[in-house]
Structure 1
Amino acid sequence: MSTPTVITVAPTGAEAEKTAAPALPVTLDELLTCAKSCERAGASVIHVHIRDAMSRPTLDPARLKDTVSALRAETSLIVQLSTGGAVTDPYAARLRVLEAGPDACSLTCGTVNFGDDVFLNPWPFVSDLYQATQRCGVVPEFELFDLGHIATLHRLLDRHGPPYGGRIHCDLVMGVPGGFPGDLPTLAAAVAALPEHATWSATGTGRTTLPVMFAALAAGGHLRVGMEDTLTYTRGRPVRDNTELVRRAAQAATLAGRPPMAPPEARAFLGIPG
């Protein structure tokens, strides 16, 4: 319980529209400004989705490489690219994300109903993506939306061995319609089912943001926050920017006796080379 807290910021995502959330960082300059501010507020990892010139979600390889390079030049944050993209992105484009050379990537361990859509992650794709992370030297963060995904995680490890970097770190994504509900009993059941010695973060989407945050801190987990996951700071009050979400998480972690972990310490904790 004395371990400092890894705070991941997920600033953009693939669902929110810039017109509905003006503070959403969709250009590279906006993302860099956001990243530097969030690092000062306590973030050590940035989970990145990118947008094209029309602010639409994209997995364009050149834009991804430019984004990784710029974030490395301007911050000391761990750069974690999303391999989920938008729910409509093809598998081949999602695999090519690794070619941008990030420190880490998300790896969703199964298909899930995602509101009115379906986020497809069949076993052959999950297996191929995991083996690609091992070959490319990219540390995966296992994104888990329900208990069946944890069973798939065990299957991956049994079939293909440990991840690059040697550390098993997971993110429990809670509150998505179709996945885990964002409550304490569900979080406790998920943590109990994780592989031995795995570490984990929790993401509370929408109105589950605060309950999941406090439950994760109490249970020794880490945090992911950001405008990808919620656009409301409190009931009736929109999020001003990503920094205020990181700042609130850092304050909560400090009150819990687990202040934010600095990026160099988080690299060692997650098995990411310096």
Structure 2
Amino acid sequence: MALTQGSAHGTLITVAPTGAELAKADFPQLPTTLEELVETAVACEAAGASMIHLHIRDGEHRPTLDQGHLKAAVDALREQTSLVIQLSTGGSVHDPLDQRLTVLDAEPDSCSLTCGTTNFGDDVFLNPYGFMSDLYVQAQEREVVPEFELFDLGHVTSLARLIDTHGLPFGGKVHVDFVTGVPGGMPGTPAALLAGVAMLPPEVTSWSATGIGRSHLPVAAAALSAGGHLRVGMEDNVVFARGVPVEHNSQLVERVVHLADVMQRPALSTADARVMLGVKDRG
């Protein structure tokens, strides 16, 4: 695996502040409005995050792929922060495939590209190979950097197939994120994570990991110790400690920044993150 120069010495910290699964009524602290997203992004950048992974909500706080909402969020965050802006192409597990492809119209810096279908609790997160292939090619054409989301070990094989078929993504770098601990996907354990890392194709230049729920900290520690990067946020975890809810995404960022400092792999600046990921300068 060809790690990007410097990637083992600093840590890319991505914040995923909202997601599509949790209800605002159940978690009022979840940032769902544009104003809340901007405030969250500014605070998390100040805390040490260099990329933000966005799911967008409508005026009723429901997940949406509406172009107006997506573009407004991208534009506002680009104006108020220097974060790498990544839009989810997963949306909600109920969103149709054709609508998920339109996310690239909002001109994000990066987009998620999930490398296979997975059971997602009681639902199915559908990602057939044809959809993955179409999204890969469109991201190349739009000059958007994909982050390959791996929920299971079979997804690593699908990633290799995409690269073999279509060549390298725009920017020439291959960054992946292991999403562990989803009911139906790979478990949130260091052993499972390291098994996935061992399978990565040689074109991969950097990888990060996400631990859902109680796997949040063990996976973060394992990723840091193995040279990986981190994704945290209320999309993945709303409990800071036993009986203590997360009140703001910046709490989760601050904690892993501390862990990264202890491991002598301090948080990457947004400028360094852009270089590592091969992100286009969109002004």
Please indicate the TM-score interval, normalised by the length of the shorter structure: over 0.9
Who is 1:266 aligned against?
273
Amino acid at match of 1:241: H
Q: Is the 8 A contact 1:45 1:78 kept in 2?
A: yes
Which runs of structure 2 are paired with 1:19-98 in the superposition (5 Å)? 19-98=25-104
Q: 1:120 aligns with which of 122, 126, 131?
A: 126
Aligned-residue Cα RMSD (Å) equals 0.8
Structure 1 residue runs of 5 or longer lacking an equivalent are none
Q: 2:228 aligns with which of 221, 224, 235?
A: 221
Q: Is the 8 A contact 1:85 1:94 kept in 2?
A: yes
Q: CA–CA distance in 1 between the matches of 2:134 and 2:160?
A: 15
Q: Is the 8 A contact 1:2 1:257 kept in 2?
A: no
Q: 1:252 aligns with which of 256, 259, 283?
A: 259
Q: How many residues align?
A: 274
Structure 2 residue runs of 5 or longer lacking an equivalent are 1-6
Q: Deviations over 1:58-103 (max 9, x none)?
A: 0001111111000000000000000000000011110000000000
Displacement, 1:273?
2.1
Q: CA–CA distance in 2 between the matches of 1:125 and 1:105?
A: 14
Q: CA–CA distance in 1 between the matches of 2:114 and 2:154?
A: 11
Which runs of structure 2 are paired with 1:197-212 in the superposition (5 Å)? 197-198=203-204, 199-212=206-219
Who is 2:136 aligned against?
130
Which runs of structure 2 are paired with 1:91-106 in the superposition (5 Å)? 91-106=97-112
Who is 1:149 aligned against?
155
Q: Deviations over 1:205-261 (max 9, x none)?
A: 001000000000000000000000011011111111100000001010011000100
Q: Is the 8 A contact 1:46 1:79 kept in 2?
A: yes
Counterparts in 2 of 1:105 and 1:2: CA distance versus 1, 3 Å: closer
Amino acid at match of 2:51: V
Displacement, 1:195?
1.3
**Partner SS state of residue 58, structure 1:** coil
Who is 1:162 aligned against?
168
Q: CA–CA distance in 1 between the matches of 2:274 and 2:197?
A: 22
**Partner SS state of residue 140, structure 1:** strand
Q: Is the 8 A contact 2:118 2:124 kept in 1?
A: yes
Who is 2:4 aligned against?
none
Q: CA–CA distance in 2 between the matches of 1:140 and 1:3?
A: 22
Q: Deviations over 1:170-207 (max 9, x none)?
A: 00000001111011111111001011151100000001
Q: TM-score when scaled to structure 2?
A: 0.96
Q: CA–CA distance in 1 between the matches of 2:239 and 2:72?
A: 30
Amino acid at match of 1:238: P
Q: Is the 8 A contact 1:139 1:163 kept in 2?
A: yes
Q: CA–CA distance in 2 between the matches of 1:76 and 1:195?
A: 30
**Partner SS state of residue 51, structure 1:** coil
